[in-house]
């Protein structure tokens, strides 16, 4: 039930405003979501009552923490008991179990279909960013600088120059977009990549909310006219 609820929430987040109802319904159906009664929702969402340590619901399940008393511990317990994640031995990194990854797949497949209908093509750029490329866009990556993870060794040898693990991909993608565009005939250029990024967050990492590695998509387009670029933004 927790998974069904979260799938429903993810479906809402991925639906467009213009086709909200139909898109949301379609995503939910593909995810295996089925409407369930208000009584079932109430039994899942309300703080569970009972004495002693565990709070048991009518079906014998138990929660060690109450949402109203300790939200952080309650949130972690829900994710573990719903088999959405497992904790990894590197702080801020989490294992996405099949239930959680299936949610990502539903969102990914739906959005991928939509952006491809707009003429966007998928591609993939390397995970590693040279120090020179990162510094070339100092203003853009300034906010990410404290979160950049660096590779400084290969085996037992130090690298001549440290290599960054992408916190975002503009510094990698834009030089190549510039290389590929030689005239107005090459426009518009619309590309997207599904990938992971690393931001070495130190402020209370939390699964799905603030993590050091996360999955995302990033779309980049170039247009002949500013009006076309603005129209693209609004359509997305």
Residue positions counted in the chain:
236
Average pLDDT over residues 147-166: 94
Judged against a pLDDT cut of 50, whether residue 50 lies above it is answered with no
Element (H, E) at 110: helix 98-116
**Residue-level pLDDT at 61:** 60
> For 37, which DSSP code?
-
**Residue-level pLDDT at 202:** 74
**Residue-level pLDDT at 142:** 74
Predicted structure pTM score: 0.70
Rounded CA separation 98/102 (Å): 6
């Amino acid at each position: 039930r927790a998974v069904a609820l979260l799938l429903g929430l993810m479906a809402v987040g991925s639906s467009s405003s213009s086709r909200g109802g139909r898109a949301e319904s379609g995503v939910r159906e593909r995810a295996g979501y089925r409407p369930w009664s208000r009584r079932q929702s109430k039994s899942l969402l309300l703080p569970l009552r009972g004495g002693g340590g565990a709070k048991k619901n009518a079906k014998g399940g138990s929660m060690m923490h109450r949402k109203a008393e300790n939200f952080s511990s309650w949130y972690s317990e829900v994710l573990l008991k719903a088999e959405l994640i497992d904790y990894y031995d590197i702080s801020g990194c989490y294992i996405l179990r099949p239930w959680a990854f299936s949610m990502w797949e539903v969102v990914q497949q739906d959005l991928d279909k939509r952006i491809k209908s707009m003429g966007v093509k998928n591609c993939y750029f390397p995970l590693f960013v040279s120090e020179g490329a990162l510094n070339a866009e100092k203003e853009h990556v300034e906010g990410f600088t404290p979160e950049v993870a660096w590779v400084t060794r290969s085996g037992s040898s130090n690298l001549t120059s440290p290599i960054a693990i992408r916190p975002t991909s503009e510094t990698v993608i834009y030089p190549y977009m510039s290389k590929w565009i030689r005239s107005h005939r090459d426009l518009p250029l619309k590309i997207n990549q599904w990938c992971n990024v690393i931001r070495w967050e130190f402020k209370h990492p939390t699964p799905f909310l603030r993590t050091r590695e996360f999955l995302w998509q990033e779309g980049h387009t170039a247009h002949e006219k500013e009006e076309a670029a603005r129209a693209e933004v609004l359509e997305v």
